[in-house]
Structure 1
C-alpha cells in the first residue's frame, strides 16, 4: 500500500503542475485577446509548452496504470488522445505549429483555443481533487 501513497502523491503533483500550466495558457490567451501581447510573443510562449504538457500527461497515465485504476486510466487516455489530435492531427497543412501567429486571429481560432484551454483546466482541476482524495484515502488505509 505504500506504493499507492507514493504514486498518488506524484500524480497529485503532476496534475497540479498541469493545472498551473493550463491556467498559464488561459491567461496568456486572454492577454492576447485583450491586446496586451502581440501574436508572435503569445505563440512563442505557448508553443514551447506543448511537448512538456504531453510528457507530463503521459507520465500521469503511467502512474495511474501502476495503481490499476482502470476508470481513471480510460479518462486520462481519452484526454491524451484528444490533446494529440488537437496538437498534431487536426492542424491545417499551412500551419507551422499549434499556436500559429499568422492564423490565431483568423476564423475565431483564438476563441477556439481559449475554449480548449478552459476544458483542459477544468479537467485538470477535477482530477487534482480526485487524486487528492485518493492520496488521502491511501494514507488513511496504510496506517
Structure 2
C-alpha cells in the first residue's frame, strides 16, 4: 500500500515538474516577445487549477498515508497556490493578467516563482523516488 502511495505521488510530481517547465518556457517566450501577453496569460491561466489540484493531491496523499515530514514539506506550496488563486483581484483574467504582467516586475516574480517551484518539485521527485524504492524493498 505504501509503495502505491509513492508511485502515485511520483506520477503526480512528474506532472507538476512538466507544468513548472511549461510555465518557465511560456514566461520566457513572453519576455523575449515571441508571444503577446494575452496569449501567454490565457495559456498559463488554463493550467493554474490543474497545478493547484496536483499539489493538493500530493499533500493529501502524504497526510492520509501519515508521512508527516513530507506532508509538512508540501503544505507551504499548496497553501501558496490556494492563496494566489483566491487573491486574484476582481476584473483580472486570472492569476496571470495580461494588463498587469509587465507592470511592477510581475513577469520577473512569476518567473522566479516558477523556478522555485521547479526546484521544489525536483526535490520532491527524488524524495518520492527514494521512499518508493524503500517501500518496495521493505514489502
Q: Does 1:138 align with 2:102?
A: no
State the shift of 1:78 in Å: 1.3
**Cα distance in 2 between the residues matched to 1:66 and 1:5:** 14
What TM-score comes out, normalization by structure 2 length? Answer: 0.95
1:54 corresponds to which of 52, 55, 61? 52
Number of residues of Structure 1 aligned to a counterpart in Structure 2: 139
Moved over 4 A (4+): none
What TM-score comes out, normalization by structure 1 length? Answer: 0.92
State the shift of 1:93 in Å: 4.2
Which residues in structure 2 correspond to 1:38-117 (within 5 Å)? 38-89=36-87, 91-117=88-114
Q: Which residue pairs with 1:124 in the alignment?
A: 121
Q: Which residue pairs with 1:13 in the alignment?
A: 11
**Cα distance in 1 between the residues matched to 2:109 and 2:89:** 15
**Cα distance in 1 between the residues matched to 2:46 and 2:108:** 20
Question: Could you report, residue by residue, the CA deviation over 1:14-38 in whole angstroms, capped at 9, with x for unpaired residues?
Answer: 0011011100011100110011111
